[in-house]
Structure 1
């Protein structure tokens, strides 16, 4: 379905200026934006991925990853195609950097499908970058306000001011990929700007449930100083924001060796000096239990491939400390 895009103007040369994300693409007639999902036809900017679903799965909420938002629950995860980054290590490059086969669903159809899923708490927009699926997600958000559905974004956080302010009131939780804590990485590897992502995280952290993921690529973004500065900055916003340090494996255009287990352990130890909740992903035999920051009691047990919520009313059962979690 072809649908006119939001957030664009024409420049002095008659080219379309897309203002959805900070790439700020100037697109000529017949051209397609950097994201691969917006095209100019007859002087109008259209979204190419409206309602086009490439992937859908009922996932544990922990796979997003969200460890502190309704732990142990399931959420219908959906994605489309396209991305406004060019990360060479992308694990979902077959949908983020190409146009895969898709199935079209009207926003109402997706909502009804989500409501029919047993034990489903809502919809997570994920797999490819959801911000460039904006028009469809906005329609789903608006039309599902009277339904019992939680709405989640798993995003790179690279979106412009007006769009993010417009969508935030609808979103219950988000996991933002903070790719690194140096702008050279963002510029050279992702084709982005870290300051914009940081600004958007600042906008989000007190308006919804927020968790952050950083994929550690050895030799690129894993130095002790970088991990320390990243965690100091997150802590300055709120030391209770959960951080997921994820282990890199070769993918797409990156053939560097997988990040060592020693690096993952060292980085997580540094992170725990500044943050109360640090988790390690893509590492075998890691339980990632949630401990009370005050008394170290296990309050969420994630051993044996299951999630057991021990705390009640979001407080530690042993000492009563308030845990940053939505039950």
Structure 2
């Protein structure tokens, strides 16, 4: 489906909340969607900026096919402007005349690699909506799962369409302050919240929040974020990631004390909470009895629970999907 609205001398891209009005020969805020002779085009369709075979835990996805490898591809461009972006070299620029890879070739490579899934990741895959949709449909026909790692900045209609062909997603919930989203990230919190709700009802969902000192770690804001996740589903895994200076942001790294304080609070209301970038243990434990279900050391994974979605020790229902 084409998410385009025509205006006199411009095209409006209706894919994300920016609703860019693009003149002929120009591109939108994301840098990859272009008005070519009165038609909205994606000249970077299939332009892969980076690729690799990663443990699915690296996404991070902990509760979907744990211990498996994922064929990962990244693109160019982004519809946010996070000053601390870890992948700014591909998200905040585009490389003209990039080599293009067809969805069929991506599926072929994923199958040959023996990976259980394809991950659309690294930069922002949403702005390459058409390619992700085409690839995801072919992957499903080939019996390969689809995983998307995204900022969630998508309008409702394309969000419903996209997450309906995904098997798992990790969405960045970067803050629970709409002013912070708008002012510093150039994004829209309501759109991200709506995407989270869409995804939670259509595929396996995990969330990541990068804790940036003095920006999104205020106790009142953390409470709002946790309340929102709880209202959607308290079984959604939340990854609390430690910020380090990067790109345009040179503030000191998040302290371990702050990470531990927020993690402790999150675990009081959510069933599955993990720390990222701290070196702490990332085991999955039963929220009812505390038995270790999945043991992790770096990206090495041991599945200890033998009863699938039921805890061996107490019989309570669990919320992860193994092979």
| TM, length-normalised to structure 1 | 0.95
2:297 equivalent to 1:303: yes
1:151-162 matches, within 5 Å, as 151-162=146-157
1:255 aligns with 250
1:6 aligns with 2
Residues 27-54 of structure 1 deviation map (CA, whole Å, 9 limit, x = unaligned): 1111110000011121122102201101
2:81 equivalent to 1:81: no
* Gap runs ≥5 in structure 1: none
Q: 1:105 aligns with which of 76, 91, 101?
A: 101
SS at 1:45's partner residue? strand
Do the aligned residues in 1 keep the contact of 2:170 with 2:206 (CA within 8 Å)?
A: yes
* Gap runs ≥5 in structure 2: none
1:58 aligns with 53
State the superposition RMSD in angstroms: 1.3
Residues 99-133 of structure 1 deviation map (CA, whole Å, 9 limit, x = unaligned): 14743111101110100003x11100011111111
Runs of 4+ in structure 1 over 2 Å off: 100-103, 142-145
SS at 1:52's partner residue? coil
Distance in 2 separating the partners of 1:48 and 1:37: 7
* Most deviating of 63-72 and 136-145: 136-145
* Most deviating of 157-166 and 274-283: 157-166
2:123 aligns with 128
Residues 169-228 of structure 1 deviation map (CA, whole Å, 9 limit, x = unaligned): 211000000000111110111111111111111122122100000000000001122112
Do the aligned residues in 2 keep the contact of 1:94 with 1:100 (CA within 8 Å)?
A: no
1:150-229 matches, within 5 Å, as 150-229=145-224
* Most deviating of 14-23 and 160-169: 160-169
Distance in 2 separating the partners of 1:245 and 1:171: 23
Distance in 2 separating the partners of 1:22 and 1:305: 36
SS at 2:141's partner residue? coil
Distance in 2 separating the partners of 1:293 and 1:122: 27
